[in-house]
Structure 1
Amino acid sequence: MYAFDSRIRYSETDSEGRLTLNALLNYFQDCSTFHSEDVGLGIGYMKEIGQVWVLSAWQIVVNRYPQLGEKVRIVTLPYELKAFLGYRNFAMLDEKGEYIAKANSLWSLLDVATGKPVMVNEDMRRGYGIDEKLDMDYAPRKITVPEGGQLLEPIVVKKHHLDTNHHVNNGQYVNIAMEYLPDDFVIRQMRVEYKKQAFLDDVLHPYVVQTETGYIICLQDEEGRLYVSVEFLR
């Protein structure tokens, strides 16, 4: 397990002074990045070997959204490395050690030059180690998208959407999708299925479907091929 401590900042809160889902996702993403850097498997190492970890799926379950100023601990637990896949849990805990949120994620290891999967190497196995899976209700990775949705105005990918891999950061997709939720919608679970990478000047076409329990929002290209599907549940 890898962990770091933090405090909820004003810049991470919504109009009610609570941590936003996007900020929670960023905490989790930062935790895995810190972990990789601290065990010598960070951005520099990955550039040197010409490989990149690409997020394939998220599941985040939120018990509550912490308030401005709360002290929190963020943890990550890699629990399986198999072929070219990496499985990681995340959690945010309060000062009493109670879970604020839990998450599961699936990552794919790709060769930067070819875009094809490559096998996890021994450095990664030794550096990350393996922990026990968190106790949580694991949802399927695949998101079924119903018909009957609505296509909305397209969005052009800008520089601020990109990360160090020069494609749209996984959290930016979620941030874009959340813009289509009603203002009073409280997210208790989010699932994300990433299908392909979007780059600068690509055009994202939002497709929004309301379900009995929430919303499914897809960002796709002009031919209907998915970049990402996001499911938000109350």
Structure 2
Amino acid sequence: MYQMTAKVRLSEADHTKKITFPGIVNYFQDCSIFQSEALGVGFEHLERQKAAWVLNAWQIVVERYPMIGEEIMVSTWATGFHGIYGNRNFKMCDREGNILAWANSVWVYMDLVKGHPIRPDSREIELYGSEEALPFSFAPRKITLPTASVKCDSIPVRRSDIDPNEHVNNCHYIQMALEVLPESFTFRQVRVEYKRSARRGDVIYPLMAAEAGRAVIMLCDQEEQPYAIVELV
């Protein structure tokens, strides 16, 4: 398990003086990167291998949004490896150890030269190890699509959306979905299924459906083929 401590910053909060949902997601992403770097299998290692762990799906649940200045501890650990897939859990706790948010995620190990999934190196698996998963019910990787949806305003991919892997940052898809979501819609859980990478110069065409406490936002290309599917409940 890898752990990091922090205080919620002003730049991570909204008008409620609490951390935003993307703020929580960014802590989870950062924690996983820091673990990889600490183990010696971070960016430089993956560049030499011409490979990458690509996020395929995750389920994120928020129990409470911490306030500006509140101390938090973020943890992450691998829970298992199966062929081309790796599973990873996350949690964010307050100073008393109460869980503020948690997540389950599925990753795919990609050969960046051939452009298809491969089995990860056995050394990487050994370094990450495998620990017991969180004692929660995990949703399936695939998101059930609605039967009907409405088109929303298009969103051009900005320079600030691009991450070190030269595609849209995983969290930014969620931010795009939240911009489309009606302000009155409240949610506790977000699931994301990543289909393919959007890059600089692409334009995102959102399709949204809201039904009985569930909203699904498909972030698509002009032909309505999705880059990512976001479900909020």
- Give 1:137 shift: 1.7
Residues 102 and 136 of structure 1 are in contact (CA less than 8 Å); yes or no, is this contact kept in structure 2?
Answer: no
Secondary structure of the residue that 1:14 maps to in structure 2? coil
Secondary structure at the aligned position of 1:219 is classed as strand
What letter corresponds to residue 203 of structure 2 in structure 1? V
Question: In the alignment, which residue of structure 2 is the partner of 1:224?
Answer: 224
- Summarize the alignment of residues 41-52 of structure 1 with structure 2, pairs less than 5 Å apart: 41-52=41-52
Q: Does the 8 Å contact 1:82/1:120 carry over to 2?
A: no
Paired position in structure 2 for 1:207: 207
Match of 2:15 in 1: 15
Identical counterparts, % of pairs: 39
Supply the distance in 1 between the matched residues of 2:91 and 2:185 (Cα, whole angstroms): 22
Residues 115-172 of structure 1: CA deviation (Å, up to 9, x unaligned): 1111111221121011001111211111111122111121221211110110111101
TM-score, normalisation: structure 1 = 0.97
Where does 1:105-184 land on structure 2 (aligned, <5 Å)? 105-184=105-184
Deviations 1:54-88 (A, max 9, x none): 10001001111111111000000100112111100
SS at match of 2:110: strand
- Consecutive unaligned residues of structure 1, counting only runs of 5 or more, are none
How far apart are residue 114 of structure 1 and its match?
1.6
Runs of 4+ with >4 A deviation? none
Q: Distance in 1 between matches of 2:126 and 2:81?
A: 11
Counterpart secondary structure, 1:78: strand
Q: Which runs of 5+ in 2 are unaligned?
A: none
**1:23-67 deviation per Cα after TM superposition (whole angstroms, max 9, x unaligned):** 000000000000000000000100011001110001001111111
User: CA contact under 8 A between 2:216 and 2:230: conserved in structure 1?
Assistant: yes
Q: Secondary structure of the residue that 1:87 maps to in structure 2?
A: strand
Give me the TM-score of the superposition, normalised by structure 2: 0.98
